[in-house]
Amino acid sequence: MPSVVMVFEPQPREFFQGMEAPPRLMGFRQKLETLMAADIDIVLCLKFDETFRGYSAMGFIDDVLIDGLAVNYLVVGDDFRFGCDRSGDFALLEDVGKTAGFSVENTRTVTVAGERVSSTRIRNLLQNNQLKKAASLLGRPYRVRGRVVYGRQLGRRIGSPTANILLRHMPALRGVYVVGVKLDDGTTHDGIANIGLRPTVDGKQPALEVHLFDFTGTLYGQRIDVVFRHGLRDEEKFESIDALKAQIARDFDAARAWLAEHSG
């Protein structure tokens, strides 16, 4: 049988809570690329809107799982709930499956070193700059992948040009970080990044700004991987561009010092 992964856009909590929803660990495209790299045959993306919200649990099973997918074998998380008012659960799927001809498996809780792996726990670790521990739960260092776009050119004007990646959702990290950057050509570079809302310039859209050390060339249009290695400071608002420029110089020195200490 082909393997199918079902995802929702927007995620249900984003639909109900808007900007108050927990930040994503992956954007949709990055999630799609990761699933494809894991040899998933089909990714089914369902639009979560008012119509979909109104589905009863049995309506979801009948229309999506049975009529839509002709499911034979279903794997769900141990806390999976679905349908209007979250009325559907594992027990209902199991009961319906016995008569409809599909089996259901519960993935159970996954633990690492005795601790439960969950997106909530990983977000908390990232927000507290515990990047190594977050990486142990993710199975890889935390990274953001995106396309470099034209920004305000502020970094270039103050002597620290950056590659700008617009983010569609609030990031799990906020602040200034030492990063490693992988380019389209496969090369990797050390750098420093600011991720968040850029309060000094009244940013409204979350963005990731990356400066690559000792790099010349253009990155516009490339999709780059930014791997977060070490947190330097929280995002903050400065009184002037000159104050921001002075802090950036200190950040560069701190990043280079960390890289020198941790090289090799």
CATH of the domain at 34: 3.40.50.620
Verify that 92 and 160 share a domain, yes or no.
no
Say yes or no to pLDDT of 97 above 70. yes
Tell me, yes or no, whether 93 and 147 share the same domain: no
- pTM across the whole model: 0.84
| Contact in structure between 8 and 45 (CB atoms under 8 Å) | yes
Residue 189: other Cβ atoms inside 10 A: 16
Same-domain pairing of 86 and 157: no
Residue 128 resides in a domain:
no
Are residue 155 and residue 240 in the same domain, yes or no? yes
On whether both 102 and 147 belong to a single domain, the answer is no
Q: Are residues 155 and 252 in the same domain?
A: yes
CA distance 156 to 241: 13
What element of type H or E holds 8?
strand 4-9
> Same structural domain for residues 90 and 193?
no
pLDDT tens digits, one per residue of 173-218: 999 999 999 998 899 999 999 998 865 555 667 889 999 998 888 8
The tally of domains found in the chain comes to 2
Give residue 122's identity as a one-letter amino acid code: I
In a domain, 207, yes or no: yes
Weakest mean pLDDT among 57-66, 100-109, 122-131, 193-202: 193-202
Do 164 and 95 belong to one domain? no
Are the C-beta atoms of residues 142 and 30 closer than 8 Å to each other?
Answer: no
Cβ(106)–Cβ(118) under 8 Å?
no
Going through 113-244 in order, the beta strands assigned E by DSSP cover 115-116, 143-147, 163-166, 175-182, 188-196, 207-212, 223-233
CA geometry: angle 171, 176, 179, nearest 5 deg: 85
Peptide bond into 141 cis (omega under 30): no
Do 156 and 252 share a domain, yes or no?
yes
133-172 pLDDT, tens digit per residue, is 999 999 999 999 999 988 665 555 555 678 999 888 888 9
Quick check: is 131 in a domain? no
Same domain, 240 and 159: yes
Q: What is the identity of the amino acid at 12?
A: P
Amino acid sitting at position 58: M
| C-alpha distances in Å from residue 226, one per residue of 110, 146, 204 | 27, 8, 22
CATH code of the domain in which 176 resides: 2.40.30.30
Dihedral sign for Cα atoms in the order 186, 32, 124, 90: negative
Give the domain range for residue 235.
142-262
Say whether 104 sits in a helix, a strand or coil.
strand
Residues 189 and 256 in one domain: yes
- Residue pair 136/113 in contact (Cβ under 8 Å)? The answer is yes
